[in-house]
């Protein structure tokens, strides 16, 4: 069967780190919208001082671009969450082939995953990527559950990608805007948790 443009797998490239230049394919679909290279490069420039040794959560993982780029740049571990089994299979394959120690690939709805309280044996996340379907309006409830379940490290970063102008300035009591920019119709925002370290002891 000849593949149409809509069914043909797409391809991405790791920008920097130990896997720099490596390419991988991911399935196409209406909800799989990888972060463009230009935005990804800017985002990881912002995160450069904090990425090495970080625990990363890639919600709405899709192509896996953000979590894989994090691992390439020295993150100690990454959890990929998505509901699309095709996407998860592609991410799992890459993690295995590239020897991505510390990766975990789980099939789950983001809100369902976050509804549980973080196990005491699991480290809180230093960097969380939130890139849901643009029409889902999930930024606020996801941020609320991140806080309620104690998923956030004391100085955690939360990245949100959304249509330009649609993300409220204040998504929670603890997450404050840190960096923000736009690229065409896409707005991308890096927020940082502001709280005392003592509340995690």
- pTM here is 0.86
CA angle 188, 79, 26 (to 5 degrees): 70
CA–CA separation, 48 and 72 (whole Å): 12
Cα 70 to Cα 9, 48, 57, 99, 136: the distances in Å are 22, 10, 10, 14, 25
Looking at residue 147, its pLDDT comes to 84
Q: Which domains does the chain have, with CATH numbers?
A: 10-200 (3.40.50.150)
Contact between residue 24 and residue 97 where contact means Cβ atoms under 8 Å apart: no
Pairing of strands 175-183, 77-82: unpaired
CB atoms within 10 A of CB 1: 4
Looking at residue 20, its pLDDT comes to 95
Spatial neighbors of 16 by CB under 8 A, at least 6 apart, are 44, 69, 72, 73
- What are 182's two structure tokens? 């736009």
- From first to last of its 201 residues, the chain has per-residue pLDDT tens of 333 333 344 888 999 999 999 988 876 655 556 677 889 999 999 999 999 999 999 999 988 999 999 999 999 999 999 999 988 999 999 999 999 988 999 999 999 999 987 877 788 999 999 988 777 778 888 988 888 888 999 999 999 988 887 765 666 678 888 998 988 888 899 999 976 443 443
Looking at residue 126, its pLDDT comes to 97
Looking at residue 11, its pLDDT comes to 80
Contact between residue 91 and residue 27 where contact means Cβ atoms under 8 Å apart: no
Contact between residue 79 and residue 56 where contact means Cβ atoms under 8 Å apart: yes
- Tell me whether residue 111 is exposed, middle or buried, using C-beta atoms within 10 angstroms of its C-beta: 0 to 12, 13 to 18, 19 or more: middle
């Amino acid at each position: 069967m000849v593949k149409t443009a809509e069914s043909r797998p797409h391809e991405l490239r790791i920008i920097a780190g130990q896997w720099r230049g490596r390419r991988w394919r991911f399935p196409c679909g209406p909800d799989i919208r990888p972060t463009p290279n230009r935005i990804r490069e800017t985002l990881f420039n912002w995160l450069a001082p904090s990425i090495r040794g970080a625990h990363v959560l890639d919600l709405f993982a899709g192509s896996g671009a953000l979590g894989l780029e994090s691992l390439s740049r020295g993150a100690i571990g990454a959890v990929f969450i998505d509901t699309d089994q095709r996407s998860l299979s592609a991410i799992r394959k890459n993690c295995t082939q590239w020897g991505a120690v510390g990766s975990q690939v789980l099939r789950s709805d983001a809100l369902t995953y976050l509804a549980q309280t973080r196990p005491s044996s699991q480290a809180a996340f230093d960097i969380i990527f939130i890139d849901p379907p643009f029409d889902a309006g999930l930024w606020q409830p996801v941020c609320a559950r991140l806080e309620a379940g104690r998923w956030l490290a004391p100085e955690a970063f939360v990245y949100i990608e959304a249509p330009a102008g649609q993300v409220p300035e204040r998504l929670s009591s603890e997450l404050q805007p840190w960096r923000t920019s736009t690229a065409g119709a896409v707005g991308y925002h890096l927020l940082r948790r502001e709280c005392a370290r003592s509340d995690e002891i």
